[in-house]
Amino acid sequence: MTNSIITKFKSIREPVLVTGHTGFKGTWLTLLLDNLGISWVGISLQPELNSLYNLVNRRYSHEYFLDIRDFYQLEKIVTSIKPAHVIHLAAEPLVLNSYKNPRQTFETNIIGTVNLLDILFKLPSTKKIIVATTDKVYKQSRYRRTFKESSSLGGKDPYSWSKVGTESAIGAWQNISKITSGPVVTAVRAGNVIGGGDLSKNRLLPDLIKGLSSQSDITVRNPNSTRPWQHVLDPLVGYLMLLASSTVFESVNFSTNEKSMTVKKVAELSVTLWGGKAKLVYQSDSQGIESKHLSLNSDLARNKLGWQSLWSQKESISETINWWKEVKVNNVSPYDACNKNITLALNKLTVC
């Protein structure tokens, strides 16, 4: 990547519509857009009390709070925005929550996406739509596999099955687009994203941070499971590269080019980076609720889009731990801590 990547970002049509802008990835994305000088409009539920969105302590006039399952309210707002470029992040994002609220998970992830696509395809302004699904849409097997975009899709839990349903909706509208010369729709599948400010329940890094900062025992689920850990800014840069690209992609993986790290290794590295004392208590998933091994092949993104990870897995973990130490120990504001990471990422883009 060269400085021409950032120059290409200037071709992105404004304002960018970001759904789920109050979520973890959404907050990082809108901060990234701000740093690039790209205007955006957000649609989301009200932010959760303990969220990065609230931690960075900002409010904008160009945001709307509504449920994407409400078709008529969504249609009214999106039609008024008339977006050309869209990044759809709004979703129920957690596996364990999907077991508690499967119907809501399916409604939000499938019907919410269908509502948005149906509305956007009626607007002559719409040119490109990026829909974020997950690395968990790939059909699992007994053997460890590295999944390509062409790999078979299949779910396991309500969350992954709902995202497979989302992929079905994307496929339907991609076919509509071919017939009607409509907007380009691309599914993006990222590995496990980490970064400062994630306070989601039942996620490894947030659980580690809570235990490390309070010096209490930390329960770590499934220590031998593997995930393709990556800094949240890595796939977000990829999404913007897709918006700026003239090439049409149906689906793109964004993930580290390294062998996926085990949960145990991530936990131990985090404790070492934080310092102090913390006891890790490992707990196996006897019911097999979560997938044991995940690994993505991102050759398409690297070879056809020119994307690459800005941080290794270890560097991503280090950046995340350092973010929290800056905020909790050195009293750096979360807003400044995020912008420091974004400045570093943009600097990397100019020299890679």
Residue 219 belongs to a domain: no
Q: What is the C-alpha radius of gyration for the chain, rounded to an integer number of angstroms?
A: 19
What pLDDT was estimated at residue 143?
A: 65
pTM: 0.94
Residue 16 lies in a domain: yes
DSSP string over 125-174: T--EEEEE--GGGBPP-SS---B-TTSPB--SSHHHHHHHHHHHHHHHHH
Nearest-angstrom CA–CA distance, 297 and 138:
12
Residue 242 has pLDDT above 70, yes or no: yes
Per the structure, the complete domain to which residue 55 belongs is given by 3-197+228-259+294-351
pLDDT tens digits, one per residue of 52-103: 999 998 877 799 999 999 999 999 999 999 999 999 999 987 766 778 889 9
Q: Is the pLDDT of residue 151 over 90?
A: yes
CATH of residue 96? 3.40.50.720
Q: What's the average model confidence in pLDDT over 234-249? A: 97
Least confident of 28-37, 100-109, 281-290: 281-290
What does the pLDDT average to over 291-319?
92
Assess if residue 286 is contained within a domain: no
The pLDDT of residue 70: 97
The CB-based long-range contact list for 120-125 (8 Å cut-off, 24+ gap) reads: 120/78, 120/83, 120/86, 120/183, 121/173, 121/176, 121/177, 121/180, 121/182, 121/183, 123/78, 123/79, 123/82, 123/83, 125/82, 125/83, 125/84
Mean pLDDT of the chain: 91
| Band of pLDDT at residue 351, cut at 50, 70 and 90 | low
How much is the pLDDT for 78?
A: 98
> What sign for the dihedral angle of Cα 44, 200, 320, 130?
negative
285 occurs within a structural domain: no
**Predicted confidence band at 1 (pLDDT cuts at 50, 70, 90)?**
very low
Helix 112-120 / helix 71-81 crossing angle, nearest 10 deg: 40
What mean pLDDT comes out for the span 98-123?
94
Is 236 inside a domain boundary?
yes
Within a domain: residue 204?
Answer: no
What is the rounded CA–CA span in Å between residue 311 and residue 318? 10
**Domain-embedded: residue 223:** no
Q: Is residue 17 part of a domain?
A: yes
Give residue-wise pLDDT tens across range 179-192. 999 999 999 999 78
Number of domains in the chain: 1
315-344 pLDDT, tens digit each: 999 999 999 999 999 999 999 999 999 999
Alpha helical stretches, state H, the chain? 3-8, 24-36, 52-55, 71-81, 95-100, 102-106, 112-120, 158-180, 204-214, 233-244, 263-274, 299-300, 313-328, 334-351
pLDDT digits (tens, 9 = 90+) for 264-292: 999 999 999 998 778 899 987 655 556 67
CB 106 within 8 A of CB 162: yes
Q: Which carries the bigger pLDDT value, residue 320 or residue 159? A: 320
